[in-house]
Chain A
């Protein structure tokens, strides 16, 4: 038995296969991580182009460049693509690249299933995007696809949307099972649970959330499918069902989903702040417990998305307080990051700039979330641009800034080359200014009463909308610079050292740059 193992063990020192089959048939976590990251970048640009259409339409009042029907398809696809195609695959890609290296594992636990999880995605999004060219157009009911808009009044392409969500869900569940199993079973000797890097912890919790809620989403779209085509009445009051039931099921998935998109960001930012402050992270254990508390609370706050839909008063009060409770562990994290920076020898390379912007801007998004959690206030804010401003603050300078920070931080390890620091900083400042100019004014127009999801608006909102659109074009086109920087770094540049950053700690910085095709075929010793 052992001789067979030894033989196979030697195979692992082969480099990657040649040609396209390297990517199609791969079982290597680094290849699959790269695939995920490029896929998510492509989706980010497509979803971003849709955002440009939206902002161009909203540049001034009145109907400008697109039909209202097409506008609705744009807001729907923009949301779905950015969430399921942009942010989530980017985090899975980072998990693929980093988790095995951080815990000293030779690869992901189930490498072939890992490749399956990835390759489902291009097909799923091909189906979703192809619905744009179908009779009746693409899904037009918003990314939350509330019934009956998504059932009784939906275009025929909703069936394709339902099935593409099904296979995206299958992909997420398999990917998450892989991450959980890898973390539980593949840690090198000595890497105890409370010694795991925080990115690994954040992904363990995220993967648990994904396995718990993606099947619920599958259940929700299945009920839609049955209501639309097979005569059931889950969301139809005439048959004894209730459209509000859809919202409950959807947000039971949707709220943990929100944390799925931010917990890995917490992990990334913790690493970067620690490295560039040249100090150990303040309050490691409290960081872990904070993430666990956020994850557990995320299951009992869903109805704060639907305060105005009609619920018993007791439920409104419960969901309000439960939501506000989440501010406590989140506050713990923010204070820990600040305490880590306190009296550190800080330098501001591009990843650190993004991480600092994350801490400040995510906190703004979190605080506007706290405002939305207050029931009587939410009655005023519900479905206004204030909500749009809130969730874009947590998703763009939150999730997406953390992904960009992660790319700048780890790309020297992935490619072996340093990125161009000058261009990186330029990209940061353009993005930082662009994001704030885009989304900050949306707080004002939201508080003034502009509803979301309309292609036209009253005249008094004109000025701030124009400012917002200018910011959006700035942010959008700056991302082409990001694309250029990434390609330039992959093609060449100053060689990176193994440790890359002076203050970087962790197993991934002990291997060569670029990381060899197979790392840790033999588990490293960790004290």
Chain B
């Protein structure tokens, strides 16, 4: 690009509004969580206000960016900034999941075997019978304290064997999510070839698959809580299971929301050109990322 064309926006109110929204959001969240036992506490309204302000600020902020783009204020160089920015944002998300996967690997490799006396086997230390009767298995269905503090689960979400594979929700979830990655790619190809109908249809299918995934996930959680006794409070298996799948599910909702915004922009506002659609591309990258995380989850949380 020729010099001097990088678009530096003038003053903007969005950042400070967003910082205030975040402040309200986290004050409300902390205060609500600290007073969960107190039904008269109404700090949850601060939380809602913060969330509402955050949503509105983001809506108007993105609208402003899209307007500036349509007015031709930005350049290829600015687009490149968005490309790098999104890529690094996804990298930070990868690291967030890495923390939880790291916790999973650590408890499976070290914590659980050692709680069952692995450390005493070398003979150097006498077996310390702190948790008598606890055996190292994965999934951990019976906690080291034998359920004195924790709810014991009857059943886990692990691989049920080939005979029951088809009744196993996670397999269907995997099929749904992997297909959605394909459909979002087909939509992208449609857009690149200037076929807006194809783009809209396949993006619509992707959003529908996202909804189906979230629905199946909700069904799975219901089953876990209602029939398996598997809850957040059933020891380390429940902790890692719900936190990993829960954060993934939250990211699916975010990604699905982004894709539906892109669908709405295309259908109602006619946005995106065959050579110019980074908003959609960013959302689709995010979607592929969510998909890869699921493959990891399927492998390490459900199967192995």
Contact = CB atoms under 8 A, between A and B. Distances in A.
B30 A160 contact: yes
Contacts of B208: none
Contact of A8 (B23, B73, B85): B73
B151 to A, nearest CB: 8
A181 B8 contact: no
For the residues of B in contact with A, the DSSP-based class is helix
Interface string B222-260: 000000000111011111101100000000000000000
Interface in B25-63: 26-27, 29-30, 33-34, 36, 61
A222 B96 CA distance: 10
A17 interface: yes
B114 to A, nearest CB: 8
A379 B232 CA distance: 37
Interface in A207-242: 211-216, 218-220, 222-223, 225-226, 229-234, 237-242
Interface in B9-36: 9-16, 18-20, 22-23, 26-27, 29-30, 33-34, 36
Interface string A7-50: 01101100001000110111100000000000000000000000
Contacts of B71: 4
A249 B103 contact: yes
Nearest to A231: B233
Q: Which of A110, A162, A177, A213 has the most CB of B within 10 A?
A: A177
A2 B28 CA distance: 47
Contact of A248 (B26, B106, B243): B106
Contacts of B13: 24-25
B170 to A, nearest CB: 21
B111 interface: yes
A211 B30 CA distance: 25
B239 A239 contact: yes
For the residues of A in contact with B, the DSSP-based class is helix
Contacts of B26: 127, 163-164, 166-167
B247 to A, nearest CB: 8
Contacts, number: 232
A225 B96 contact: no
A526 to B, nearest CB: 12
A180 B106 contact: no
A5 interface: yes
A182 B238 CA distance: 42
B84 A522 contact: no
A112 B4 CA distance: 19
A465 B42 CA distance: 49
Nearest to B77: A185
5 contacts: A27-B8, A123-B23, A163-B26, A223-B100, A239-B236
Given A231-B150, A239-B149, 11 more contacts: A9-B4, A126-B23, A167-B23, A177-B92, A180-B84, A211-B92, A212-B92, A214-B92, A234-B239, A240-B111, A522-B3
Interface of B: 3-16, 18-20, 22-23, 26-27, 29-30, 33-34, 36, 61, 71-73, 75, 77-78, 80-81, 84-85, 88-89, 91-93, 95-96, 98-100, 102-103, 106-107, 110-112, 114-115, 131, 140, 143-145, 148-150, 231-233, 235-240, 242-243
List the 9 closest pairs (A to B, CB-CB), nearest first: A219-B99, A240-B236, A231-B233, A232-B239, A119-B19, A215-B96, A242-B111, A116-B15, A163-B26
Interface of A: 1, 4-5, 8-9, 11-12, 17, 21-22, 24-27, 105-107, 109-113, 115-116, 119-120, 123, 126-127, 156, 159-160, 162-164, 166-167, 170, 173, 176-178, 180-181, 184-186, 211-216, 218-220, 222-223, 225-226, 229-234, 237-242, 244-245, 248-249, 252, 518, 521-523
